[in-house]
Chains A and B, each alone.
Chain A
Amino acid sequence: MRVAILGLGSVGRGVASMIAEKKLGITVTGIADSRGGVLDPAGIDIPAVLEQKRATGCCGDPSVTAADIVASSDYDVLVEVTPTNIQTGEPALTSIRTALSMGRHVVTSNKGPLALHFTELMDLAAENGVELRYEATVCGAIPIIQSIQHGLAGNTVHAIYGIMNGTCNYILTRMTDEGLTYEQALAEARELGYAEADPTFDVKGIDTALKCVILANTIWKNGVRLEDVECTGIDLLTVEALSLADSQNCTIRLIGEVAPEKGILRVSPRIVPKKHPLVVRDTLNAVTVVTDMAGAITQVGKGAGSIETASAIIGDLLFIRDCHAGSN
């Protein structure tokens, strides 16, 4: 199977290095970041490209663009792992549309295009007889989309809810354990690289809201959008509030919830008993699916990280390979 990779940040580097290391029968024929690209129908020397990226900040020839890579015919699957833009979804949206229109499968970790244009993109994939897979957009390494689509096939899903943002979970864990203020815990999360310089996207609950939108569209195909989510973040929580929850053997976690039967689509800090299966520590994610036949199923795992996200991307790639023999 031949793949082209757009984006060589943390996720892209993780995917490329795992493809090189694990001998999965995947050949990378194109790679581009925002500053340049490299094309080789015979297969790119990944360690050399990663070294060049590390040394120069650019992965290849500055005259080769992401659009050139997408237009190249030498790949079966486009791996789109550029940063999320929640206003327009671009430039990822155009790359994904182009690849699908050309009859190429797409695997992405990019929440923007999916949250903004879910139905359109899935329809475009179906029209062209290809797959658009996005396991890495929700809860990192946890195979929640695969579980819902395949493991729990035939079940009616009543609700899905959980902790879907590791940065918020880390901040709340530290506030609870050490009595840090929100500002102190955030500063620590930044130092450790868990929080961005501008943490708004995470702490205001927007990242969790995007994941709720993607999950809702995946399960119920209800066309909900980001603006439909009732969204409250964790940035106004106080250490005293956590301590009040603690005195009742509870804690506070940022929970994303989708339950269309009850009209619930929201992200908010919630009081949760400490022994509840969703109460996980540090940057872990935990998500519960409530179904008719299987009951409630909770999965816990790493929600972010280079290699953990690569796990989701590679899972999608191998699913496509196994289900579409022609892609080999």
Chain B
Amino acid sequence: MKIEVKDAPGELVAALKPISEVGGNIIAVIHEWDPTLRSKTRIVQVVLDVPGERVDGLADSLKSRGVSILRIGEERLLMKRSVIMIGHLLHTDISDTVDRIDQTGFAEVVEMHMTMPGITQRSSARLTVSATNRAHMETAMEILRSVAHQKELLLVEPLEEGV
């Protein structure tokens, strides 16, 4: 989100307050200096994590405080995790496996590399999953575990630090 705030003490903090009020999480605040801008204002880029249904309420709240919103962009998928699946991936319908993640609406398979050494041999694939946050990623992994169990595939997950 790119906003324009008055260049005065306390203005930025006041402008960011509505974000926490709607349950959003501020990930980064980047000040941009632009000499062509009107004096007494600053452009600030805010990277935040906020549930999609609360974005409109946030925009209204900011406007009511006199903050100009220059742009609201949406980068939905913040987390990535790669897993490896081994087994009869094609015979067990790999596109169905991918669909089960994509259908969630909060996670999707964004990359896949697959090797098939022989028609009767087990194949191996690396799937990269993106999700909106850690909890959603965990849910996506649960789905993959369940699919792997059901289709008798071996799922190799990354070791998470500090388990």
Known: A159-B162, A159-B163, A276-B159. A244 touches B83 (CB 8 A): no
| Chain A residues within CB distance 8 Å of chain B | 158-159, 161, 232, 236-238, 240-241, 243-245, 247-248, 250, 252-253, 255, 257, 259, 262, 264, 268-272, 276, 278, 290, 296
B163 touches A244 (CB 8 A): no
Chain A interface helix/strand/loop/mixed = strand
Is A278 a contact of B159 with CB atoms below 8 Å?
yes
Kindly list chain B residues whose C-beta atoms are within 8 Å of the C-beta of A250. Answer: 158
Contacts of A270 in B (CB 8 A): 156-159
B154 at the interface (CB under 8 A from A): yes
A271 touches B82 (CB 8 A): yes
Q: Are A271 and B156 interface neighbours, CB within 8 A?
A: yes
Interface residues of B in 70-98 (CB under 8 A from A): 82-84, 86-87
Q: Report which of A232, A240, A259 forms a contact with B163, defined as CB distance below 8 A.
A: A259
The 4 A-B residue pairs with the shortest CB-CB distance in the complex, in nearest-first order: A240-B124, A240-B115, A241-B124, A270-B159
Q: Smallest CB–CB gap between A298 and chain B, Å?
A: 12
Point out residues on B near A: beta carbons under 8 Å. Answer: 82-84, 86-87, 113, 115, 117, 122-126, 154, 156-159, 162-163
Q: Which of A232, A244, A264 contacts B124 (CB 8 A)?
A: A244
**In contact, A244 and B159 (Cβ under 8 angstroms):** no
Closest B-chain residue to A245, C-beta based?
Answer: B84
- Pair B117/A241 contact, Cβ less than 8 Å: no
- Jot down 13 A-B pairs with beta carbons below 8 A, ordered by A: A232-B154, A236-B122, A238-B122, A241-B124, A244-B126, A262-B163, A269-B154, A269-B156, A270-B157, A271-B82, A271-B83, A271-B158, A290-B163
CB atoms of B159 and A236 under 8 A apart: no
Chain A residue, CB-CB nearest to B152: A236
Number of interchain pairs (Cβ within 8 Å): 70
List, in ascending order, chain B residues with CB within 8 A of A244's CB.
Answer: 84, 113, 115, 124-126
Q: In the bound complex, do residue A238 and residue B86 qualify as a contact, i.e. CB atoms below 8 Å apart? A: yes
Nearest chain A CB to B156 CB, angstrom units:
5
Chain A residues, CB < 8 A from B84: 241, 244-245, 252, 271
Asked if A241 meets B162 with Cβ closer than 8 Å, knowing A236-B122, A248-B126, A252-B84, the reply is no
Known contacts A244-B113, A244-B124; A237 and B154 CB within 8 A of each other: yes
For B154, B159, B162, the residue with the greatest tally of chain A CB atoms inside 10 Å of its CB is B159
Chain A positions within 8 Å of B122 at CB level: 236, 238
> Which chain B residues border A272 with CB–CB below 8 Å?
158-159
CB distance from B158 to the nearest CB of A (A): 4
A244-B124, A248-B82 known; A290-B156 Cβ under 8 A: no
B163 to chain A: which residues have CB within 8 Å?
Answer: 159, 161, 257, 259, 262, 264, 290
- Please report the C-alpha to C-alpha distance between residue A250 and residue B124 in the assembled complex, in whole angstroms: 15
Pick from A241, A243, A247, A257: contact of B156, CB under 8 Å: A241
A271 touches B115 (CB 8 A): no
Which residue of chain A is the closest to B83 with respect to CB atoms? A271
Complex-state Cα separation, A237 to B156, whole angstroms: 9
Which residue of B is nearest A264, CB measured?
A: B163
Contact, CB under 8 Å: A240 / B117? yes
A322 to B42, CA, bound (A): 71
Q: Which residue of A lies closest to B127 (CB)?
A: A244
Closest partner residue, chain B, to A276 (CB atom): B159
A237 to B83: give the CA distance in the assembly, Å. Answer: 13
